[in-house]
Structure 1
Amino acid sequence: MDLLEQDDMVSFATTSWLIWKRRNEMIFRKCFLHPRIVAQNSKHLVEELQLAKQQNKKLTGKVQRQAAWVTPPRGRLKLNWDASLDKIRCRVGVGAVIRDHEGQVLATLRMQHDLFPDPFLAEAYAALQASIFCKSSGYKGIIMEGDSLQVVKGLNSASDSHTYAGQLIADTKTTLSSFTAWSAGHTVRANNCVAHALSKDALGISGYTTTFGSVPLCIRTLVFESLNE
């Protein structure tokens, strides 16, 4: 059995199952199925399984291709942000990274803050801190990108919520209104892994840390991988 190829094993397994099924049909339904039909059904079933496997590979490849960070157009910068929570200590870690059209890291932010551990509140707070950091760094034309759909919808909404998180989002829009151009888009967590890694690392630091022109150790591998996808 160990010497059989994978395709032979699949063929053996499907044939065995069909023989067992044929036996049950004979015993319980008094229905006789010719062995030639069993062989044909086995062949067709194996072909269907192989086709399904090929389609699954194509779908998986498509998903993997979609799960990649996309550079901004020339003349614009992309600001990715994320938040991580320490629910035990009621703290939030904020991570933000500014990258250019070549994917190069221009600046990063890591900060820790005491905050009620609510995911939406944390993401809204992180978006505000990221926008303030971007403004204070002198960058004016940006694309904000995060994996919190609630915050992105809030940033793109003409109305403001009266919740605490809603007010943080309103303050973010006020900060962004001073930029020459800005937009906000949603992405999946896999595409936001650099900002997420920064936010996780921020929980282990004290206060506020920024970098300009250098890449923190906690994201070097992720940045390198994103540049080579």
Structure 2
Amino acid sequence: MVDKCCQVSFNGVCLFMLEVLKPHNLELFCVLAWSIWKDRNNLVHNDISKPLNELLEDASLYLAGFQRCRVINSAPTTKVSAPTSWSAPPTGELKLNVDAAVVEQADFFSTGGVIPNSNGVVLGAFCRRHFSSVSPFIAKGHAMRDGLLFAAENGWRIQMVETDALKVVSSVKTKCFSGLHDPGLLTGVAHTLARFGLANDGFSSWVESLPSWLSSFVCTDFLPV
């Protein structure tokens, strides 16, 4: 006689798990089920299958990424009114726009930045995730540092640095570049990059060619007048 529980459909199992599992365990069940199904398809169609330990490790990474994104999306953000035009740097000069994203009660933060020229053409963009807990002021200071290092690594000389943190701008006193306080203008793109960095591991950068999701923000913000 076949045990009736062996005849339960996967849909039935999912409905049962939905009722008995707590949210964090349900998330783990869903990710494990998806990982097993994906591995099964690879075995059937490509004759490739991962060892159990790799399968569990991949599932853990996917789950951690999902949970991190959920924290990011639920974090409070401050909305600002964007000005109607972009203030371009003088002809032949480059401007660095940076921002940072900090999530309360998290042990990480991220920075992001973009480097446009006087015509609004973006030479490069970056985002970096830092594994420490700092204040927004310190985070935006890191954003400026990361942006200047990114520019130097690509051989770009920055004449202007722009951010929405007045205190950070005020603390910058150098003959190499000028600091500008921007309460929300070009930091729309920089802020998007910083938020993207929260769900990204380590450092990511783009030179000359930007991903489509970022290009749409660039087209909206970088409109020379």
TM-score range, shorter chain: 0.5 to 0.7
Match of 2:219 in 1: 224
Conserved? CA contact 1:201–1:218, under 8 Å: no
Q: Deviations over 1:140-197 (max 9, x none)?
A: 24210000101000003xxxxxxxxxxxxxxxx6xxx7xxx42111111243101000
Match of 1:208 in 2: 203
Aligned equivalents of 1:142, 1:152: Cα separation in 2: 14
Equivalent position SS for 2:186: helix
Matched, 1:106 2:101: no
Q: Deviations over 1:37-88 (max 9, x none)?
A: xxxxxxxxxxxxxxxxxxxxxxxxxxx7844332211110010000001233
- Structure 1 unmatched runs, 5+: 1-63, 157-172
Match of 1:57 in 2: none
Pairing partner for 1:193 from 184, 188, 191: 188
Match of 2:163 in 1: 146
Conserved? CA contact 2:127–2:194, under 8 Å: yes
Conserved? CA contact 2:98–2:112, under 8 Å: yes
Match of 1:68 in 2: 85
The alpha-carbon deviation at position 117 of structure 1 amounts to 3.4
Aligned equivalents of 2:83, 2:184: Cα separation in 1: 12
Conserved? CA contact 1:86–1:117, under 8 Å: no
Identity of aligned residues (%): 27
Match of 1:134 in 2: 151
The letter for the 1-side match of 2:186 is N
Stretch of structure 1 that moved more, 193-202 or 219-228: 219-228
The letter for the 1-side match of 2:180 is G
After TM superposition, the structure 1 = structure 2 runs for residues 18-167 of structure 1, keeping only pairs within 5 Å, are: 66-156=83-173
Equivalent position SS for 2:90: coil
Conserved? CA contact 2:148–2:158, under 8 Å: no
- Structure 2 unmatched runs, 5+: 1-80
Is the radius of gyration larger for structure 1 or structure 2?
Answer: 1
Aligned equivalents of 1:154, 1:99: Cα separation in 2: 23
Conserved? CA contact 1:105–1:213, under 8 Å: yes
Higher helix share: 1
TM-score by length of 2: 0.59
Match of 1:182 in 2: 177
